[in-house]
Amino acid sequence: MPCEGFLLVLEGSVRVAKTSPNGREIVLYRVSPGEACILSGGRLLSATAYSARGVAETDATLLCIPAHLFQELILQHPAFFHFVFDMYGARLAEVVGLIGEVAFRRLDTRLALLEFAQQ
């Protein structure tokens, strides 16, 4: 189900992952209290759908800011604008690091990390 708003985690933890057609999953990032899901914001800013999903890893409380209110907050409140784009910068750095890990680590190291991550 596509996200219809900008999601903020108030309590708990959410794992955001992408699943391949054969069922393998790669965790893109985790969202902790006080953080936002950047893919939900990206969808609202660019009307681009992303094929990732978020799953609560613990009991979680989320705040969903509807699309129309998100747009208004971005345009009228510089602090909110900076919060969103600071979060984008941090997550982009995480995802670029993940790409580097997947692309450049030895296969046996990657398999060991995958097994560890699934525990």
What CATH number does the domain containing 20 carry? 2.60.120.10
Taking the whole predicted model, whether its pTM rises above 0.85 is answered as: no
CA 40 vs CA 5, 16, 17, 21, 49: distances in Å: 6, 11, 13, 22, 9
Domain count, the chain: 1
* Tens digit of each residue's pLDDT (9 = 90 or more) over 104-114: 767 777 778 77
The answer to whether 30 touches 57, Cβ cutoff 8 Å, is yes
Determine the structural domain holding residue 68 and report its residue range: 5-117
Copy the structure tokens of residue 10. 């108030």
Nearest to 19 by CA among 55, 44, 62: 55
pLDDT of residue 86: 92
How sure is the predictor about 38, in pLDDT bands with cuts at 50, 70 and 90?
confident
The answer to whether 66 touches 5, Cβ cutoff 8 Å, is yes
pLDDT at 82 exceeding the cut of 90: yes
* Tens digit of each residue's pLDDT (9 = 90 or more) over 2-22: 567 899 999 999 999 988 888
Alpha helices by DSSP H, listed for 22-77, are 38-46, 67-76
